[in-house]
């Protein structure tokens, strides 16, 4: 093989290899999100909100206790976090569903941001900063480490190959009617991943409220 042909082959490999990895990740996405096995335990919870009641299933795939799964997943220390707020069609949409999804995404983002900032808040206090300064530092550090994305090709590929959703990079995903939700449930299919799935937007919002309640240790078994 002459030098020119060798260069062409090498360039081709360099181009095709990443494409192959991304294609594999995209094809493998569902297996990282939807467990093939049955949950170790299931707890049914009813959340009252806005004069309605929302039945939600808490499923455990990690420890056998759904609340423990959730606390372990969200309270672990991560280098980064990604929140998938929904299908790309939510970018410019209008209507009641969009209003609900925006509210849900905002509530979830604030919750994850606060959790991601804890480490930096306590570090600042240890360095002698006052509460307000420590809180400002924590907020800045959290914003730099939390990404908010739509469920497009590239995030799916990154999830599929395990770059997002692991012990260093937290993944929290909203799955509603537009994303193919079939049941109202919250579960952590593996370490570093938390899924909130609901068949309607109001229930999805209620699930975020439930997550906040659990991590504040207000839900008892």
3-19 per-position pLDDT tens digit: 554 454 444 444 544 55
Burial class (CB in 10 A: 0-12, 13-18, 19+), 172: buried
pLDDT-derived band at 1 (thresholds 50, 70, 90) equals: low
**pLDDT at site 2:** 59
pTM summary value: 0.87
Centre a 10 Å sphere on the Cβ of residue 119 and count the other Cβ atoms it contains: 15
Residue-wise pLDDT tens digits, 18-30: 555 566 667 889 8
DSSP 49-69: ETTEEEEEEEEESSSS-HHHH
**pLDDT at site 218:** 43
DSSP 20-35: HHHHHHHHHHHHHHS-
**Which residues, other chains included, contact 69 with Cβ-Cβ below 8 Å and sequence gap of 6+?**
60, 61, 62, 63, 187, 188
* Whether the Cβ atoms of residue 134 and residue 125 lie closer than 8 Å to each other: yes
Cα 199–chain centre separation:
17
> Which of 187, 170, 181 minimizes the C-alpha distance to 45?
187
Task: List C-alpha distances in Å: 125 to 78, 111, 138, 142.
Answer: 20, 21, 10, 16
The continuous run of DSSP H or E covering 2 comes out as none
Q: CA 34, CA 173: separation in Å to the nearest integer?
A: 12
**pLDDT at site 88:** 92
* Whether the Cβ atoms of residue 171 and residue 79 lie closer than 8 Å to each other: no
**pLDDT at site 36:** 86
Does the pLDDT of residue 220 top 50, yes or no? no
Find the mean pLDDT for residues 43-48.
Answer: 95
For residue 58, list its beta bridge partners. 43, 186
Residue-wise pLDDT tens digits, 144-202: 999 999 999 999 999 999 999 999 999 999 999 999 999 999 999 999 999 999 999 99
185 three-state secondary structure: strand
Phi, psi of 24 (to 5 degrees): -60, -45
Residue-wise pLDDT tens digits, 71-123: 999 999 999 999 999 999 898 878 889 999 999 999 999 999 999 999 999 99
**Which residues, other chains included, contact 52 with Cβ-Cβ below 8 Å and sequence gap of 6+?**
202
């Amino acid at each position: 093989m002459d030098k020119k042909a060798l260069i062409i082959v090498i360039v081709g490999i360099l181009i095709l290899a990443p494409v192959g990895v991304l294609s594999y990740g995209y094809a493998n996405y569902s297996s990282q999100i939807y467990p093939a096995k049955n949950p170790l335990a299931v707890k049914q919870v009813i959340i009252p909100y806005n004069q309605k009641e929302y039945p939600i299933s808490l499923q455990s795939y990690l420890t056998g206790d759904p609340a423990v799964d959730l606390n372990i997943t969200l309270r672990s220390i991560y280098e980064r976090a990604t929140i998938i707020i929904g299908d790309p069609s939510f970018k410019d949409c209008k209507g009641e569903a969009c209003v609900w999804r925006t509210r849900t995404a905002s509530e979830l983002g604030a919750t994850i941001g606060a959790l991601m900032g804890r480490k930096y808040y306590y570090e600042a206090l240890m360095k002698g900063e006052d509460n307000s300064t420590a809180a400002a530092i924590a907020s800045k550090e959290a914003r730099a480490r939390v990404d908010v994305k739509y469920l497009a090709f590239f995030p799916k590929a990154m999830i599929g190959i395990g770059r997002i959703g692991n012990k260093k990079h937290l993944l929290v995903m909203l799955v509603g009617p537009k994303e193919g939700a079939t049941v109202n449930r919250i579960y952590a299919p593996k370490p570093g991943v938390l899924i909130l799935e609901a068949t309607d937007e109001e229930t999805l919002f209620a699930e975020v409220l439930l997550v906040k309640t659990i991590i504040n240790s207000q839900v008892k078994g």
